[in-house]
Amino acid sequence: MISWVGFSNVDYAIIGARLGALQTGLYFRAYTLAVEYQGKLSIVMGQVGFPVLARTRDAAELAHLHRQMVRLLTIVTFPLLVLLAIGAPVLVPFLFWSCWVGEVVLVQILALGGASTLPGARCELHLPAGNVCRMCEPDSMELRRQGGGTPAV
């Protein structure tokens, strides 16, 4: 668990050591805006979809529903991230005042980077209790605990 926290925050440590507190704050806000919210959408989709997935009768039905959920999440999230990247020069100063204008380019880069890491690319849904369901092929389903460890079922 400690290694996961360290690994997931290494970018902040490097930016803080190299560029200072102001740039780290700008990066944190841009990352939150461009990347964290897509993770939150995935968690909500997983919590809503978990009961549906749990009621499936066989692996084929489970795979079909899983693909539909991942597709829906991607269809919703991708355009939002592209719009965020395009609209960042207007949205960032409007939402966070003009003092945050330095994060516009970071938001654009991270939004486009976030679009490349959508669940559809990884075939993942974040399920309740910190589990991640990964299923790219109907025959191969992996359920793992986020950050390592055994899944809580």
The pLDDT of residue 5 is 63
Q: What is the reported pTM? A: 0.67
> Mind listing the pLDDT tens digit of every residue in the chain (153 residues)?
566 666 677 888 898 999 899 888 888 888 888 878 877 888 888 888 888 888 888 888 888 888 888 888 888 888 999 999 999 999 888 888 887 787 888 889 888 887 877 755 455 555 555 555 555 444 455 544 445 544 444
List the 140-145 sheet strands across, edge first: 124-126, 131-137, 140-145
For residues 81 and 115, is the Cβ–Cβ distance under 8 A? yes
pLDDT of residue 18: 92
Cross-strand pairs, 133? 125, 143
